[in-house]
Chain A
């Protein structure tokens, strides 16, 4: 038993009836935040941006992911690739601002040039003035470091460490559950917004996982979606959240509704589901739209929530649906904003030195507990790896 661990997680991995939540340090301590950066966020598949952030060939967007400089690039084949945004020469940041790369990525320092595929294309004056080759500069060994990535339901996921199972293996359960929604998605910029929250990113997940708070925090939902209409989504070590059996489509003045995703089974006529793909992406799926919320962990007590709504067809993002889309986006923004005071309040509450992680309701907090258990397991894995080194 090593005594150097930053926190004691032995109660967190117990069954829900006995378990405690993660200790305070996991929300307020910079050292633990660093530990989680690696074990929870870098070692798994974390969401870092939306595919629609780079819609066209050559579009590039730098992302600062917990200090790690990433570059999202749309290549000539239409795929999104992610690279470390650091030049292989002297380590200069390659791309500072979102934009379109017409030809190659040129480092602003000594102008080494990289293709959209990450390959090093030119090394000007590297062998002296006017001499662009040198026997020790092997271009095929000096391409940009590619970061493993995968696009799912509009979100670009990365596994920084490169050690996670393939995305489709790691998340096979949710992919299977929601396979009917794994279709082309249509986004309009009026369905995007960002919320700043003064809390650790995990509290947003924890709140999102349970329906227990709905009657109190979202009283407006009481009439359309009551507590008893909800069920838990619980897949140990994988994902968790909640579902509802009474989804009703939004209706415009003239009875207009969004077009449905094609070929959905009957279940989805009235069902909707909300789950977090661990660690940091919260999804919602409905017969006529889905959404994704990427939690950007800005700091131990600061989170940026990037929200994007998606529709089922090109038509749904056209002018004819503008009004309905705006109503829908406003609705969700309102709901997500209603959650902010509890998420920030829980953050403040974690400075209470006697708080012990809290007591879960075995009936209502199962999905939240599963998230805690997963986080604790990731941290334990990281500590075991450190101990073995």
Chain B
């Protein structure tokens, strides 16, 4: 089981400190897990969050997430 309370706290802390790398890591993992479980909508939702923070932070991982979202028809 995912410990959502713990995740929430992590996300909030990363938001507060502007720690984009951590935000991306958390959201990307959530997104990929959802996709792996066949939940496209939830997966795309989390990957979008990851993508935006990767873009904002100028993180190279943005490329990879972008590719996934484009493949899902959810980004251009």
A contact set with B: CB distance below 8 Å: 58, 101-104, 106, 111, 113, 121-122, 124-125, 127, 129-133, 139
Contact = CB atoms under 8 A, between A and B. Distances in A.
Interface of B: 20, 40-45, 47-49, 51-52, 54-59, 62, 69, 73-76
A133 B48 contact: no
Contact of B75 (A103, A106, A111, A133): A133
Given A102-B58, A127-B74, A139-B76, 6 more contacts: A106-B55, A106-B56, A113-B56, A130-B44, A132-B48, A133-B75
B44 A122 contact: no
A102 B57 CA distance: 5
A127 B76 CA distance: 12
A119 to B, nearest CB: 12
Pairs A-B, 5 closest by C-beta atoms: A103-B58, A130-B44, A130-B45, A102-B58, A106-B56
Nearest to B53: A106
A129 B52 contact: no
A130 B74 contact: yes
Nearest to B48: A124
Interface centre among B42, B56, B58 (most CB of A within 10 A): B56
A111 B43 contact: no
B76 A130 contact: no
A127 B73 CA distance: 11
Contact of A121 (B43, B55, B69, B73): B55
Contacts of A104: 55-56, 58
A132 B40 CA distance: 14
